[in-house]
Amino acid sequence: MSDSSPGAPGIRLGLPSTLRLGLFQGCLGCLAVIFAGLLNRVMISELGFPGLLVGVALACEQFVAPARVLFGQLSDSHPLAGRHRTPYIWLGALLFCSLAVLSVPLIFQVARLLDSGGGALLAAIAALCGLFAAYGLAISMASTPYLALLIDSTSEQERPRAVGIIWCLLTVGIVVGAIAIAIALGNLDGVTDPAVLQPALMGFMVRVAVVVLVLTVTATLGIERPRTGSLQAGAEATSARDEAITLRQSWALVTSSRQVMVFFLFLILFTLGLFLQDPVLESYGAEVFGMSIAATASLNALWGIGTLVGLLVAGLWITPRLGKFATARLGCQLIVASLALLLLSGVTAQVSVLQVVMVLFGLAAGIGTNSALVLMLDLTLPQAAGTFVGVWGLAQALSRALGKVFGGGLLDLGRFLHLQFTGGTDPFPAYALVLSVELLVAAAALVLLGRVNLRQFREDTGRSLSRVLALEIG
């Protein structure tokens, strides 16, 4: 465990450091818009990729999520250059920025082979899926130690404020990414020629990668303290414990409690209820509402603005007054209602209605996300912060992966069923199927939340940790 662990006295994040640390989350938000929004829109609408293919390729980023547990445990027990978190964050950022740039030419190579088929196409698709999987590993390497660093540097009382601020910056990154897309690529509306699209996207991605790398270093430099001087004595007192908990024992620890599994499943359903529409949202705007590339990118900005307000309102006002569980319940209820409105907006096909609904959906997402994140960080043992963060990250990443696959797959299924049974070409029914399933998933998350018990979780995992350490000593 790092010296900036919760047990290390006097090491806390002030507001300036919290804002600076949040820059990394802003970078992740910007990249999320590009990958989940821009690239999947270009692949589906401009390059003619099947929705299922796009969903599977993007989901490969999340299918490698079990590695989050490994990276969390590594950052707990294997420091690099005297630090447990920062080196992993920097190395992961360097890798995912490089892979983001490489994704552009590979996407267009797959597009050129789509009509020819054969072994070359299969090899290109496998390479694309492999690249997204490697990108997911790099994200896991950086983001899991990052969240552990947040836990290390805050007390339980400070955490709601820190979570609210940092996830606000995540949302700011989403908004900035959407605006950057609109400004840099706004002249590509209606362009389907790969010879024009590829160099424009490549130049944009290179610029984004450079900015993300610089901001990552700026965000994390100096936040984590090295083990020197008086801190070394405290480090030695905890090192035996950290090294004793192996990856196998860490997994035994988190699987020994029913409450861990309940919350794990809640996080899967909650995140799936937020992001099942993610891989098809911009295509929804394009095909049902007739929106341009820049206009569909603005949907993420509107969602982000709503989320930003929701995070602030929840972190500064609702959660302190209602409590974490009541706020999480309210957030889930609002998400269900927002998804119903998102579904109904397609009936009107009015862009203004969709824009208002996206703001409301973002507001609900912000309220629910703040409380869910605070619960997630509270349901984490300081003695194995990296491991628990890895498990919670696994739940979220797994649901994002399922969302990408099921979102694209349900869209293809909806199109097939509509064509078979009605012979029509109206795009709305296929998107309605995606949104209806997502609404049901969000409702299931609300039901499961009622079975989470914070006190029981702490009692169960505390006893489990004692057993694990006792067995190791014995």
Select from 384, 254, 360, 374 the least CA-distant residue to 326: 374
On whether the 15-224+243-466 domain is CATH 1.10.10.10, my answer is no
**3-class SS of residue 359:** helix
User: Alpha-carbon distance 197 to 302, whole Å?
Assistant: 25
Q: What is the pLDDT of residues 131-155, one digit of tens each?
A: 999 999 999 999 989 988 887 877 7
**3-class SS of residue 44:** helix
Residue at token pair 């001087």: 229
User: Alpha-carbon distance 426 to 412, whole Å?
Assistant: 13
| Structural contact between residues 418 and 430, judged by C-beta atoms closer than 8 angstroms | yes
- For 276, the token pair is 């099942």
**Does residue 221 come out as left (phi exceeding 0), alpha (psi in the -120 to 50 range) or beta?**
beta
Please report, for the chain, the start and end positions of each structural domain, with discontinuous segments joined by +.
Answer: 15-224+243-466
In the prediction, which pLDDT does 68 show? 80
User: Alpha-carbon distance 363 to 41, whole Å?
Assistant: 24
**3-class SS of residue 154:** coil
User: Alpha-carbon distance 309 to 15, whole Å?
Assistant: 19
Phi, psi of 451 (to 5 degrees): -100, 0
Residues of the chain with pLDDT under 70: 1-13, 36, 156, 160, 225-256, 380-387, 461-474
User: Alpha-carbon distance 28 to 16, whole Å?
Assistant: 20
DSSP string, 71-100: HHHHHHH--BTTBSSHHHHHHHHHHHHHHH
| Structural contact between residues 8 and 224, judged by C-beta atoms closer than 8 angstroms | no
- For 141, the token pair is 């390497």
In the prediction, which pLDDT does 135 show? 94
User: Alpha-carbon distance 275 to 303, whole Å?
Assistant: 12
In the prediction, which pLDDT does 78 show? 86
Q: What is the pTM of this model?
A: 0.68
In the prediction, which pLDDT does 154 show? 76
